[in-house]
Amino acid sequence: MFQTASGRVVIMLAKRFFEEKSADARQKAQKIEHLSSISNAADADFNQKYRRNAVDYMP
């Protein structure tokens, strides 16, 4: 009976540990997605302003 109780405790601790890990991973993924969307917007703005002029310009 003691082994069953300690097994449950270990499972509960492991479950809590992995839940915290997955929450951290979700937060990091959200930060990366946010930064990549900023980068994509800046790239689109740059391309709209400067690439079109560079393609048209032929020395």
Bigger pLDDT: 7 or 25?
A: 25
Percent share of the chain, pLDDT over 90 = 10
Distance between CA atoms of residues 50 and 48, nearest Å: 6
pTM for the structure as a whole: 0.51
For residue 57, is pLDDT > 60?
no
Bigger pLDDT: 30 or 6?
A: 30
**CA quadruple 50, 55, 56, 59: dihedral sign:** positive
